[in-house]
Amino acid sequence: MGRMDPERYDQAADVLRREMGLHQESDNIPAMGRLTVAMILVQLARGDYVGAEKAFKEWGNCCDAPEVQTLETLLQAYDEEDADTARTALNNPFIKYMDVEYARLARDLPLPQGIASVSKPTVRENAAPSSASDSEEAKKPDAGELGGDLEDDDDEFAGGLC
């Protein structure tokens, strides 16, 4: 099966949004849950991780608990560029046995590509202690040495980028 034209993914996302709106008006939560999964798959196929995350945040509460857990795992795998975890999530029975079109989409979805150079940092032999922080001999300063600001440093990115 060949790759679908990117414009077709855009059209699919638009159709899914409209269909979700109709089901939302009639309070058909189970249908919205299935469409949420489909929307996330379409967004990932478009290469739009942010769109997939947004769809999950907006409509993920329509999914059953096991589906939510699988979708969280899938999105985290794409965020962390973890192809093995993404493959495992995509092989989950509830995704694998969806409508044929979505099952095929999940099967053919490009897996995230991790960057090899990011894996395990290496420590230079004569590196200063701050560069060797991953080694076992590296001494981590306690809060007293930092003037008590350790908690503020740890929380620097707690709120996200926004």
| Domain locations along the chain | 6-111
Write down the H helix ranges in 5-64: 6-25, 29-45, 49-59
Question: What is the arithmetic mean of pLDDT over 48-59?
Answer: 95
Q: Give residue 113's pLDDT.
A: 83
- Rounded to 5 degrees, what angle do the CA atoms 23, 26, 31 make? 35
pLDDT at residue 157 tops 60: no
Q: Give residue 7's pLDDT.
A: 83
pLDDT at residue 45 tops 90: yes
Residue written as token pair 């795998």: 77
Q: Give residue 32's pLDDT.
A: 94
CATH of span 6-111: 1.25.40.10
Q: Locate 19 and state its tokens.
A: 């269909």
pLDDT at residue 2 tops 50: no
pLDDT above 90 covers a percentage of the chain that reads: 56
pLDDT tens profile 83-138: 999 999 999 998 988 889 888 999 999 998 864 433 444 455 555 555 444 444 44
Q: Give residue 158's pLDDT.
A: 52
In SS3 terms, 105-158 reads as HHHHCCCCCCCHHHCCCCCCCCCCCCCCCCCCCCCCCCCCCCCCCHHHHHCCCC
Q: Give residue 132's pLDDT.
A: 45
Q: Give residue 99's pLDDT.
A: 87
With a CB cutoff of 8 Å and minimum separation 6, the contacts of 41 are 95, 102, 105, 106, 109
Assign 77 a pLDDT band (cuts: 50, 70, 90). Answer: very high
pLDDT tens profile 8-20: 889 999 999 999 9
Distance from C-alpha of 24 to C-alpha of 161, rounded to nearest angstrom: 31
Distance from C-alpha of 40 to C-alpha of 50, rounded to nearest angstrom: 10
